[in-house]
Structure 1
Amino acid sequence: MKKVLLGLLVSGMMALAPEVWAQTSVPAPVEYTERVPAEGAGRVMLYNRALDWAQNKFSYKPISNLKATEAASTIRVTGTGTVKQLDSKGKDQPVTVLFDFVFQATDNSYTYTVGSFQVVADPKQPSQLVAFDEYRTLLQAERNNDKTRNDRRITAQANSMASEAAMSFRSYMNSQPAEGNVGLAGEN
């Protein structure tokens, strides 16, 4: 009797519980933005350091559209990366993505964004770009997406790419050379 009542109680709770759907809402755009205070650093020093990173340390190559405006302390560069989706046979299929890194410095802080992801949907036509959200919607509409989960797969990889680019930049900006003496002062 106790098992019957317990069964009825559990099934009643399940019937009355609201429906839960995992990830049915529209996913957030792939983007990473941060504002970093940098007291005493100065706009010119922050700009020069960020420009050095964009020209020499930005690892998502080939880069394009490097636009640096010293008067406004802004930098914009487009990077190239690759995400992998599965084809109908379960094999990795590389897809090229482009994204923008945007930097803006002030006298006591800087802001940077990794975003504006676009996909080269057809490798035979690399100049035709599709917005990332639009490409993700196309993948969701494919009949084998329930099996491959390509929409989630490329979203996770693009988020990882944005995070890695942001961490690389922030690490570089935080690795300012030490000023003054390091260690014990020499004796005469």
Structure 2
Amino acid sequence: MKYTLLSFLLIGLLLLSKAAHAQESSSGGPIQYTEKVLDDQGETTVLYKRTVDWSENHFPYTPKATLKADAGKGEVRMTGTVKIKTTSTSGQTQEHPVIFEFNFHALPTGGYEYSVGFFRVILDTRKPDEMVSVEEYVTQLAMDKNNERTHNDRRVTAQSNSLASEIAMSFRSYMNSRPASGAVE
């Protein structure tokens, strides 16, 4: 009885550790943040105008470019710029500009959905049109012979995920701070 119980515990522990190891080593796909916010109080035009105000006056990720703004559909699509850092084997920090896309769509039923994603790294600032996706860049970093010392692949992945969350949090915080409609009694 004692050995049977011990065997089950050991097998369970081995299976659990194998599953945890598999999650750790799997690639997570594209780096992005997407959220759908239901808001029956928010009219499409008000949400659109609020998003345009955030993009024009409160968007800190510059330089930026508005690719598409359509008031009739309640859509805003724009790009912004952030920086990620890698480390050389000598410990020197190197910054790389990263372009990302922000997409907003006001829902006709009330509320909105938005996403932050499509991160692209500019490898050479003298050639800003030549970009690679962050996922491709992470793969390149992982194949680097010095990656065991620098861990740049994990560093860039963590920074990119953090930036996607930070951008989304900035937008969501702004949208949540809109003034209440109606009179307070």
TM-score by length of 2: 0.84
Q: Which residue identity is paired with 1:26? A: S
Q: Which residue identity is paired with 2:177? A: S
Helix, strand or coil: the match of 2:25? coil
Q: Which residue identity is paired with 1:62? A: P
Structure 1 residue 55 displacement after superposition: 1.2
For 1:73, the equivalent position in structure 2 comes to 74
Helix, strand or coil: the match of 1:61? coil
Helix, strand or coil: the match of 1:89? coil
2:13 maps to 1:36: no
For 1:45, the equivalent position in structure 2 comes to 46
Q: Select the structure of larger CA radius of gyration.
A: 1
Q: 1:113 aligns with which of 94, 112, 115?
A: 115
Instruction: Measure, in 1, the Cα distance between the counterparts of 2:167 and 2:95.
Output: 19
Percent of residue pairs identical: 44
For 2:137, the equivalent position in structure 1 comes to 135
The alpha-carbon distance between structure 1 residues 55 and 66, as it changes in their structure 2 partners (threshold 3 A), is: farther
Instruction: Identify the range of structure 1 (21-30 vs 61-70) with the bigger mean alpha-carbon deviation.
Output: 21-30
- Which consecutive unaligned segments of at least 5 residues does structure 1 have? 1-8
Helix, strand or coil: the match of 1:29? coil
What RMSD in Å do the two structures reach over aligned CA positions? 2.3
Flag the structure with higher helix content. 2
Instruction: Measure, in 1, the Cα distance between the counterparts of 2:128 and 2:30.
Output: 22
- Which consecutive unaligned segments of at least 5 residues does structure 2 have? 1-5
Q: Deviations over 1:8-30 (max 9, x none)?
A: x9xxx69x946844732113321
Structure 1 residue 181 displacement after superposition: 5.0
2:147 maps to 1:145: yes
Instruction: Measure, in 1, the Cα distance between the counterparts of 2:183 and 2:78.
Output: 36
The size of the alignment, in residue pairs, is 172
For 1:5, the equivalent position in structure 2 comes to none
Instruction: Measure, in 2, the Cα distance between the counterparts of 1:138 and 1:176.
Output: 43
The answer to whether the Cα contact below 8 Å between 2:29 and 2:135 also exists between their aligned partners in 1 is no
